[in-house]
Amino acid sequence: MLHELLLALLGFTGDFVLDASPPRRRAASQEAGGDGDGDGDGEVGPAFRLAPDLTFLQPSERTAIERLISLGFYYRELNRFATESRDLSWIQSSVDVSSPHSDKTQKGKVRKGSVYRRAIANGITEILSVYRSAVLQVEQNLLSDPLPILATVTHGLNKFEVLLPPLYELVMEIEQKDIKGGQLLNLLHKRCHCGVPELQSCIQRLLWHGHQVMFNQLTSWMVYGILQDQYSEFFIRRQDDRDGENESSQRDVSDKFKQKLAKDTSLASWHTGFHVSLDMLPEYIHMRVAESILFAGKAIRVLRNPSPGATLQEPVNQSQNSKGSHGMQSFVGGSGAPKELPSFSNISAEELLPQTEADKIDVMLKELKHSSEFHKRPFESAVGSIRTIAANHLWQLVVVRADLNGHLKALKDYFLLAKGDFFQCFLEESRQLMRLPPRQSTAEADLMIPFQLAALKTIGEEDKYFTRVSLRMLSYGMKSSTSQKDLQKPNASELSSQGKATSEIALDGWDSIALEYSVDWPLQLFFTPDVLSKYRKVFQYLIRLKRTQMELEKSWAAVMHKDHADFSEYCKDRKNNSATQLRRQRSKPLWRVREHMAFLIRNLQFYIQVDVIESQWNVLQSHVQDSHDFTELVSFHQEYLSALISQSFLDIGSVSRILDSIMKLCLQFCWSIEQYETRPNISEIDHITEEFNKKSNSLYTILRSSRLAGSQRAPFLRQFLMRLNFNSFFETTARGVMNSGRLRPSTAGAQL
């Protein structure tokens, strides 16, 4: 009987111990490695029973034996789980082994693989080997005892009564819920918190086996930049192609960017390749740590897979980086191919990430892997160190080798109009062209002529970045019906409705002028389509503002030339030129209004160019000089762009609409007074003057409101308001203009 009991303890039933489990489970246990998942009947209790015809057993003995043979059932089920999870023979019969989600066996059943479950099965095998050794020791004790008793078996296997049942419940939950990957680590981590030291040590050992897989995946990801995750169990996951397409912008520039992604795998991996899967992220790993792991792996992928067409320069002192100059063969035609920096096409991954640094990362992960327990603080510290290493080398690649600071300066020169002489020349050359409606098919080509002429006159050969700049007319901004002709004849209803216009209102059809900037690997990691779109948004705002200022100045110059000619004629013959003198007197209120407009536009432009752009540029430059971390630079640059947009009021719909209306009114006024001599239009100019005064005072009222006083705009905004209200004119008129109708031109001129 004792030999039958010992065999039952190892999962073998017979006449003495019967197997009451369902036929399918029994077959699965006999054919370990088949499709026995144990979840068909939902039974969770032991299925081994003593034969009912054993009348020679006392009730107490039957109870003790039934308690012992339940260990045999648990052993058999745990052994079945371990055998199935560790058996890889079914891979050969898979229809599609490469599928990351499921594999199909010959039986037609869906079989999901799991390296984490296999690791746990290895840990269970270790525990079962200890159990088998205990059963063998019990057998030896029984053979050596002249009077073998049941108490010998009970004493030898007593400790497993607190181990095998919870382990059986654990594997049943794993099988029934199909738990794997990070979810399996979560389950084991929760089960570790129990009051039984023996059980706690066993589950910790299982968790250690699971962590071995995780650390192997971390090593592959953070040392080599390779994602080893066939069954989607790692918390770093490859992005689905369709998700990337849905998240991509529909603009033309984004289409070009997606074409670059298709050609450059490292760039695609950086922007749309990978993400953190919250489903597989263990609860004891913070999201911040997971994002650091994601960044480190992506950075290692970039450093180990440099683009074949990379145009990099030798590492030099950062202070000298922005001072170097190279001859430019040709810069006319900004839409042409960009001039390349000195090319080092044979650059290797060893230069970007030395092997010593990779070995250092590997050593840190191995120390964590070989630790008997998972400790949160050392893990987070190691991840932080690895992230710092990756960020520093990525900084070296992007900032030093790819000359980031030079490209930032180029974007400031062209997108933020720091090269004022170039854009002044461009607007003067294109002024007559912009008096006509843009032609949908040729507008971009028409603008290229003044663009090239301005470049020839103002851009020197030392500017190696100009060939990366190209001029475009964005199709969605094209409004051929609006031009100078349309703006010259506004009626009163149109003027009164300007305040209700949407933020997309256009000054005229040329509002869609935009710039593009060509960036190569690895600068696409820094200058993303979203970043370039922000630069483009600011540029379109600034070029409209500069165009408005130029029109006001040109109008003043033309009229003054005419006025000087009239005054000269009047001085020659005072008696016969009284009409000329009268005409000069009637025109003076118009020039006061023009000065009022120019005063506001000049101060607004000075505020944006000096108080906003230059001050924020100095802040960014200090960060670039002090920081050696790529992610910090990205963050600083995002703050820089956000400050430009915020302090320029582009993020406040009400203010941006008023500014658009003011610029439109200024252009209308300029074009109206140019025809004042041939076609006097007093009522039209009165309407423009009235609307301008309302808009300008509304602008002042909004900018001095308490809502903006406490924002980041406050320090420089106060300087702007002080310049506008230096003689208290705006403050005085803001109280009355909105209620009293309009301010007379002569009154406004007298105050200014």
d(CA 608, CA 621): 18
Can you give the pLDDT at residue 266? 56
Q: Give the pLDDT confidence score for residue 680 in this predicted structure.
A: 63
Q: In this structure, what DSSP letter does residue 467 have? A: G
Rounded Cα distance, 14 and 242, in Å: 57
Report residue 436: phi and psi, to 5°.
-105, 155
Residue in this structure with the two tokens 């036929």, named with its chain if needed: 23
Across residues 413-429, what is the average pLDDT? 89
pLDDT at 487 over 60: no
Q: Under a CB-based contact definition with an 8 Å cutoff, are residues 69 and 50 in contact? A: yes
Taking the CB of residue 381, how many other CB atoms lie within 10 A of it?
13
Q: Are 406 and 321 in contact (CB under 8 A)?
A: yes
Mean pLDDT to the nearest integer, 25-42: 48
**40, 22 Cβ separation under 8 angstroms:** yes
In the prediction, which pLDDT does 213 show? 94
- The whole-number pLDDT of residue 564 equals 60
Q: Quick one: average pLDDT of 381-388? A: 94
How far is Cα of residue 595 from the mean position of the Cα atoms in its chain?
Answer: 46
Q: pLDDT tens digit string along 393-411?
A: 998 888 888 889 999 999 9
Asked if residue 101 has pLDDT above 60, the reply is no
| Averaged pLDDT for residues 313-341 | 41
The pLDDT value given to residue 81: 92
Coil, strand or helix at 582? helix
- Contacts of residue 610, Cβ cutoff 8 Å, sequence gap at least 6: none
CA quadruple 123, 125, 128, 129: dihedral sign: negative
Question: For residue 95, what pLDDT band results from cuts at 50, 70 and 90?
Answer: very low
Q: What angle do the packed helices 653-674 and 529-572 form, to 10 degrees?
A: 30
Residue that is written with structure tokens 């339940």 in the block = 70
224 pLDDT above the threshold of 80: yes
Is a pLDDT exceeding 70 seen at residue 338?
no
CB crowding 131-156: b at 16 or more within 10 Å, else e: beebbeebbeebeeeeebebebbeeb
Residue 699 near residue 738 (C-beta atoms within 8 A): no
Omega before 522 within 30 of 0, i.e. cis:
yes
Non-local CB neighbours of 573 within 8 Å, separated by 6+ positions: none
Q: What is the SS3 assignment for 633-664? A: HHHHHHHHHHHHHHHCCCCCHHHHHHHHHHHH
Cα angle 230-234-239, degrees, rounded to a multiple of 5: 75
Cβ contacts of 417 within 8 Å, gap of 6 or more: 423, 539, 542, 543, 546, 609
pLDDT at 589: 72
Residue 677's pLDDT band, with cuts at 50, 70 and 90, is low
pLDDT at 55: 67
Q: Which of 454, 473, 472 is nearest to 332 (CA)?
A: 454
Mean pLDDT of 54-61: 72
Q: Please determine, for residue 252, whether its predicted confidence score (pLDDT) is greater than 70.
A: no
Among the residue ranges 62-66, 119-123, 284-288, 408-412, the one predicted with the least confidence is 62-66
Judged against a pLDDT cut of 80, whether residue 155 lies above it is answered with: yes
DSSP 497-546: TGGG--TT--SSGGGGEEEEE---TTGGGTS-HHHHHHHHHHHHHHHHHH
- Point out which residues pair with 49 in neighbouring strands: 18
Please give the single-letter amino acid code of residue 159: K
Query: Using an 8 Å Cβ cutoff, are 110 and 24 in contact?
Result: no
Q: Distance (Å, rounded) from C-alpha 191 to C-alpha 593?
A: 80
Q: Residue 438: what residue type? A: P
Residue 458's pLDDT is 87
Pairing mode, strands 513-517 and 469-473: antiparallel
H helices within 439-505, ranges in order? 443-458, 484-488, 492-496
Q: How confident is the model at residue 222 (pLDDT cuts 50, 70, 90)?
A: very high
Q: What is the structure's pLDDT at 387?
A: 93
DSSP 433: G
Mean per-residue pLDDT, 126-141 = 90
Yes or no: say if 203 and 211 are a contact pair by the CB < 8 Å rule: no
| Tens digit of each residue's pLDDT (9 = 90 or more) over 231-248 | 889 999 987 643 443 444
Cβ contact 663:598 at 8 Å? no
Report the pLDDT averaged over residues 594-605: 86
Q: How far apart are CA 33 and CA 82, in angstroms?
A: 9
User: H/E element holding 186?
Assistant: helix 181-191
Q: pLDDT band at residue 27, thresholds of 50, 70 and 90?
A: low
Q: What is the pLDDT of residue 593?
A: 81
Confidence of residue 414 (pLDDT cuts 50, 70, 90): very high
Span 10-38, average pLDDT: 62
Q: What does residue 404 show for φ and ψ, rounded to 5 degrees?
A: -60, -40
Helix H, strand E, coil C: the string for 580-623 is: HHHHHHHHHHHHHHHHHHHHHHHHHHHHHHHHHHHHHHHHHHHH
Averaged pLDDT score across all residues of the chain:
76
Size of the chain, expressed as the number of residues it contains: 752
Q: Give the whole-angstrom CA distance, residue 506 versus residue 657.
A: 10
CA 617 – CA 613 distance, rounded (Å): 6
Are 273 and 334 within 8 A, CB to CB?
Answer: no
Question: In this structure, are residues 511 and 476 in contact, taking their beta carbons and an 8 Å threshold?
Answer: no
In angstroms, the CA 705 to CA 652 distance is 13
Question: Three-state DSSP class for 289?
Answer: helix
Per DSSP, 269 falls in state: I
Q: How far apart are CA 342 and CA 344, in angstroms?
A: 7
Whether 39 contacts 74, CB under 8 Å: no
The whole-angstrom separation of Cα 603 and Cα 609 is: 10
Give the mean model confidence (pLDDT) for residues 179-193.
91
Q: Which residues contact 235 (CB under 8 A, 6 or more apart)?
A: 181, 182, 276, 277, 278, 280, 281, 282, 285, 290
What the block records as the tokens of 11 is 């999962």
Q: Tokens 């506001």 correspond to what residue?
A: 600
Instruction: Give residue 310's pLDDT.
Output: 52
Phi and psi based region of residue 573 (left: phi greater than 0; alpha: psi -120 to 50; beta: remaining)? beta
Average pLDDT over residues 70-88: 88
Residue 675: pLDDT band (50, 70, 90) is low
- Whether residue 367 is predicted with pLDDT greater than 90 in this model: the reply is yes
